[in-house]
Amino acid sequence: MQFYSTNRKSPLVSFQDALLQGQPPDRGLFMPAQIPEILANEYEVLASLSYPDLAYELSKRWIGDEVAETALRAVCHDAYTWPVPLMPITDTLSVLELWHGPTLSFKDFAAQWLGRMVSALMKPGTTLTVLVATSGDTGSAVAAGFSHLPGIRVVLLYPSGKVSALQEQQLTTFGGNVQALEVMGTFDDCQRMVKEAFADTALRAKIALTSANSINIGRLIPQSFYYVRAYLQMARTLKANGSPLAFCVPSGNFGNLTGGLLGARMGIPVAKFIAAVNANAVMPDFLRTGVLHTRPSVQTLSNAMDVGNPSNIARIFDLYAIDKTLPASDRNIDQRKFAKDMWSVSIDDRITLETIQRVYKEHRYIMDPHTAVGWRALELWRETEEGRRFQGHTVLVSTAHPAKFMDTIEQVLPPAAVAMPPSLQDALQRQKQATQIPAEYNKLKEILLSK
């Protein structure tokens, strides 16, 4: 498998180079030259596999022979040791709970696979710095995925005061090979500083650098697996092979949604993707106007989605590009096909809280604020003409354990409604280890060169 840059100015590279480089020299994003295919006659066999075995079978299709089969199988079986429940709520709605991993976030699915894959591809005796910007859950997931791996140093940037107390406690208490930097700015500042580091040829001549943010294609590939799994489960349950699903995806940087699009391009039938966003309404505005307007991020209760300039928009535009020889942009996109596949709406904090409270009352189901944004977005899509016509099953992608947002949950639910998981209790007992820095690239560069 080869990978190209969405900016079309860098040469094709192997999976290993795409993974370890993180970002192409032309500052685009890596995308696969081909998307592997799943045939309808494979559904039954694939549906019978455990999640680790399914991940292995799909990984082989993405990677080819660049990783030995025994090593690849070990990556997938070591990475995925937790359940992936698809919880039925009504006859037409199920919730895909992606928060049963070590840091209670969907990002564990990518980080655990990516950490082991990077380690498997590194040459003995070499060192690598993994640079990450986080708006909430990415930091702790990457720290957990890469912690204690030999030859790897992890540097996490997070915006001061803009992650939940529990998220901060999780991502700043690993120590060891994980260094947390508390940036006095926004997530967009963190993301900008990371991108500047990758574009700094002088820096990259001195240290080997990669990313575990969703700019790394190694985050996107494993995030396609659970969409395939959800479809296979629903097809078996409903005995309806070939009947499309509608997925609702809480979205910020759009890596999760891009993983879903890759799964759909592999061959699972998807009628619609609902991109559920908070007040950072980049996608709804684009669908309405046909023009991409990025803007400074707005702070909300669903903080992991507080992104005003989403990186993975470039990958989404690339998937829908009219001319594949031109750089990905909003001026080179099949607007009609994109609007057919995608719908998006912005949900504010007041509605988010009301939704958490209402769903608990009606279904005794507790959601974190990101999932609540998704729930309400899905309801609103169902009220559209297209949503009313849709006869298939809907899947809401639930991205984080509600206990990670206890301050928000307790505004509308009884204090005892959410039990604190043991892993979070353990994090609360550990000492915070973080260095405050200004939102300036030169300070980050100084730290990166200091070890």
The CATH number for 152's domain is 3.40.50.1100
For range 65-80, the mean pLDDT: 96
| C-beta of residue 172 within 8 angstroms of C-beta of residue 426 | no
Query: Is 154 a member of any domain?
Result: yes
pLDDT single digits (tens) 274-322: 999 999 999 999 999 999 999 998 999 998 899 999 999 999 999 999 9
Q: How far apart are CA 69 and CA 37, in angstroms?
A: 19
pLDDT digits (tens, 9 = 90+) for 209-219: 998 988 899 99
Residue 423 pLDDT: 87
Residue 122 falls inside a structural domain: yes
Tokens standing for residue 151 = 């030859």
Report the pLDDT value the prediction gives residue 444, as an integer from 0 to 100: 98
How far is Cα 358 from Cα 284, in angstroms, rounded to an integer?
Answer: 25
Find, among 81, 168, 212, 190, the residue nearest to 404 by Cα. Answer: 168
Nearest CA to 137 out of 173, 114, 103, 162 is that of 103
Residue 393 lies in a domain: no
- Taken in order 46, 49, 50, 54, the sign of the CA dihedral is negative
**Range with the poorest average pLDDT among 39-53, 225-239, 337-351:** 225-239
Phi/psi of residue 446, each to 5°? -60, -45
Q: Is residue 367 within 8 Å of residue 398, measured between CB atoms?
A: yes
Residues 6+ apart with CB under 8 A from 341: 261, 264, 270, 272, 273
Q: What is the mean pLDDT of residues 261-286?
A: 98
Question: Can you give the pLDDT at residue 239?
Answer: 61
Segment among 240-249, 386-395, 425-434 with least mean pLDDT: 240-249
Range(s) of the domain holding residue 175 = 111-216+426-448
Percentage of residues in the chain with pLDDT exceeding 70? 99
> Is it the case that residue 242 has pLDDT exceeding 70?
no
Q: Is the pLDDT of residue 428 over 90?
A: no
Asked if residue 199 is part of any domain, the answer here is: yes
User: Distance between CA 309 and CA 24 in Å, rounded?
Assistant: 19
How far is the C-alpha of 164 from the C-alpha of 162, rounded, in Å?
Answer: 7
Rounded Cα distance between 399 and 107, Å, is 8
> How far is it, in rounded angstroms, from Cα 30 to Cα 217?
6
Residue 369: partners with Cβ closer than 8 Å, 6 or more residues away: 300, 301, 302, 349, 352, 353, 356, 405, 408
191 pLDDT above the threshold of 90: no
Q: 445: helix, coil or strand?
A: helix
> Which contiguous run of DSSP H or E holds residue 168?
helix 165-171
As beta bridge partners, residue 248 has 274, 396
| Ranges of H-type helices in 308-450 | 313-319, 335-341, 349-363, 369-382, 385-389, 406-409, 422-429, 441-448
What mean pLDDT do residues 338-349 have?
98
Between CA 159 and CA 439 the distance in angstroms is 9
Q: What is the pLDDT of residues 4-31, one digit of tens each?
A: 999 999 999 999 999 999 889 998 999 9
Asked if the structure places residue 11 within a domain, the reply is no
What pLDDT score does 236 carry?
Answer: 83
Helix (H) or strand (E) holding 145: helix 137-146
CB 275 within 8 A of CB 283: yes
Into how many domains does the chain fold?
Answer: 1
Q: Is 335 contained in some domain?
A: no
Q: What is the pLDDT of residue 187?
A: 86
d(CA 76, CA 315): 25
pLDDT in tens, 377-427: 999 999 999 999 999 999 999 999 999 999 899 999 997 889 899 988 888
Q: Over 70: is that where the pLDDT of 148 sits?
A: yes
132 within a domain of the structure (yes/no): yes
For residue 241, the model assigns a pLDDT of: 58
425: number of Cβ within 10 Å: 11
**Residues 6+ away with beta carbon under 8 Å from 25:** 10, 201
pLDDT confidence of residue 135: 77
The verdict on residue 115 lying in a domain is yes
Residue 136, pLDDT > 80, answer: no
Give CA separation, 44 vs 229, 239, 241, 319, 406, in Å: 11, 10, 9, 28, 40
Distance CA 62, CA 15 (A): 8
Dihedral angle over CA of 285, 290, 296, 298, nearest 10: 10
Average pLDDT over residues 60-84: 96
pLDDT at 2 over 90: yes
Question: Residue 165: what pLDDT?
Answer: 83
Tokens of 410: 């307790």
